[in-house]
Structure 1
């Protein structure tokens, strides 16, 4: 009986440690929390004019000026794209987290959900490198390939 209790406590302790979030990730989650504006999307590491569909949703130009909201207490958020001739406006909801891969920058990870917080992306999600994150500014980056060449998409946000 004593051995069984000890093993149970050991298992609970292991789960608690393995599921915990690092202090760095917690700090970043707190900084994300709130309302942001996506001010600019640009491209690095290649030359030429680029046009892309972001998050398999809308053209890059539709995202500029979009409003983003991150709620850290339940890991949900949304972004809102303005309606226009090139853009299907409206809210897009997501579940998000900060992950810390080994030998890499921390990353924002998210996947799309509906208004009832149910997964609508079939488990597919996105990860963006957190290049800079302060109380007022955020720069996220994603690496993609265009015609076999690497390109980095840069997302620049300001806090509302």
Structure 2
């Protein structure tokens, strides 16, 4: 009788373990911070949502067109970086230091997050808050980031396309 119970128990364990391994989805490949190492430029800005005109004030800093042509520097070993807006007729030229990282919300996606910091790496916001955006695509030479926002109560997404300019990581 003990042998029969042991056999049934072993059969249940084997069947449960094999069914769980065949039904689980493979985990997305882990992103490496090294992929972002270097200087990147925002080369395209698109809006996704209902048809209409959009106005997006990004990262509590400037209107979305001001980010086109901006240069972003990412240093992977310590998560430091900066970005510079080029300025123009209706945009102020500005440079901000940031501390950045990847975030995994647990749904097989990745997000880029950053906060503004001073020269010593201390947060400029007393509440230590920052910004988080979904990464739609990341290759060694391009990245598409999706920034969720609203205008007059209507939600939409801003797609920022980054193109790698160089391996330079000078702050």
Q: 1:56 to 1:62 in 2, by over 3 A?
A: same
The Cα of 1:124 is off from its aligned counterpart by: 1.5
Alignment of 1:52-91 (within 5 A): 52-91=56-95
Alignment of 1:109-124 (within 5 A): 109-122=113-126, 123-124=128-129
Corresponding residue of 1:143: 148
**SS at structure 2 position matched to 1:88:** coil
The structure having more radius of gyration, on CA atoms, is 2
**SS at structure 2 position matched to 1:30:** helix
> Which 4+ stretches in 1 moved above 4 angstroms?
none
Corresponding residue of 2:157: 152
The RMSD of aligned alpha carbons is 1.4
Residue 101 in structure 1 maps to residue 101 in structure 2: no
Segments of 5+ residues of structure 2 without an aligned counterpart are: 1-28, 166-171
The Cα of 1:114 is off from its aligned counterpart by: 1.2
Corresponding residue of 2:30: 24
Check conservation: 2:144, 2:160, Cα contact below 8 A. yes
The Cα of 1:144 is off from its aligned counterpart by: 1.9
Corresponding residue to 1:127 among 122, 128, 132: 132
Segments of 5+ residues of structure 1 without an aligned counterpart are: 1-22
Between the aligned partners of 1:104 and 1:24, the Cα distance in structure 2 is: 9
Q: Which TM-score applies when normalising by structure 1?
A: 0.79
Per-residue deviation, residues 35-83 of structure 1 (Å, max 9, x unmatched): 1000111110221111221100011111000000000011011001113
